[in-house]
């Protein structure tokens, strides 16, 4: 067997084990569901603990109050993502946003401004500044293009109808990280900012409709 054939066999074997590892990780994490947040955490299942730790509403998305610092949310997501494939995590993330929309729907009432002091960061993680922006209506800058790519609303979340399949969005954010070299922390910061822009939150009592959607007024009081 020549060297080229051996390399092909090694790559094929590596891909097989990667798929098996992803399948085992998926089996270890059943569908994420949210518990009642005022219930005793000691009674939460592992899936419920994960759902709470990775849900962006904990950072004050929509009308949900902020309960954690952004850096702690990113830290939680990075730890959960490390236990499964990127694709599996992002598919579960989208499903979690959809199935829990009633919990943080900005159209259901006042969009929360930050109340009280900003939560203390427990992880000690230092986040990079975002590198995305909203489309201005005049020019598609690289930051605006990336801002559209990382925005989950195009898969159909809440008041925004679906424009692309989940797999297309998941492939986009995965390529940003794996092919284009966007750091994991930065990708998460950008995704979180896109959600804030689209649904309000983080101290901003308004929503900015992404490109391709009509503006949707938010009830304030």
pLDDT in tens, 146-177: 999 999 999 999 989 999 999 999 999 999 98
Supply φ then ψ for residue 10, to 5 degrees. -65, -40
Determine the pLDDT at residue 125: 95
Asked which of 96-110, 132-146, 165-179 is least confident by mean pLDDT, the reply is 96-110
% of the chain exceeding 70 in pLDDT: 75
- Supply 20's token pair: 């098996």
Count Cβ atoms below 10 Å from residue 58 Cβ, excluding itself. 22
Domain boundaries defined on the chain: 7-110+126-199
pLDDT band per the 50, 70, 90 thresholds, residue 25: very low
Residue 114 has pLDDT above 70, yes or no: no
Nearest to 128 by CA among 180, 86, 83, 187: 187
Alpha-carbon distances of 66 from 119, 150, 178, rounded to whole Å: 8, 22, 31
Q: Which DSSP letter does residue 140 get?
A: -
Residue with tokens 């930051």: 143
Structure tokens at 52: 């709470």
3-state secondary structure (DSSP) of residue 61? strand
Lowest-confidence range among 28-32, 61-65, 142-146?
28-32
Whether 61 and 201 have beta carbons less than 8 Å apart is answered as yes
Q: What is the mean pLDDT of residues 59-65?
A: 88
Model pLDDT, residue 23: 47
DSSP string, 16-49: HHHHHHHHHHHHHSPPP-PPPTTS-GGG--HHHH
Q: What average pLDDT score do residues 34-63 get?
A: 84
């Amino acid at each position: 067997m020549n060297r080229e054939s051996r390399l092909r066999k090694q790559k094929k074997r590596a891909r097989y084990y990667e798929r098996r590892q992803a399948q085992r990780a998926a089996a270890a994490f059943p569908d994420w569901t949210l518990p009642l947040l005022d219930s005793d955490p000691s009674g939460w299942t592992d899936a419920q603990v994960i759902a709470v730790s990775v849900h962006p509403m904990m950072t004050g998305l929509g009308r949900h109050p902020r309960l954690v610092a952004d850096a702690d949310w990113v830290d939680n997501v990075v730890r959960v993502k490390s236990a499964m494939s990127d694709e599996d995590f992002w598919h579960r993330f989208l499903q979690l946003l959809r199935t829990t929309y009633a919990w943080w729907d900005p159209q259901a009432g006042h969009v929360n401004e930050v109340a009280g002091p900003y939560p203390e960061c427990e992880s000690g993680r230092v986040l990079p500044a975002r590198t995305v922006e909203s489309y201005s209506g005049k020019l598609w800058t690289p930051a605006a293009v990336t801002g559209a790519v990382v925005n989950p609303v195009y898969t159909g979340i809440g008041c925004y109808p679906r424009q692309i399949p989940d797999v297309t969005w998941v492939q986009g954010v995965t390529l940003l990280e794996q092919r284009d070299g966007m750091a994991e922390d930065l990708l998460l910061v950008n995704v979180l900012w896109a959600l804030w822009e689209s649904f309000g939150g983080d101290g901003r009592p308004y929503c900015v409709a992404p490109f391709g959607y009509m503006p949707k007024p938010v009830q304030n009081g």
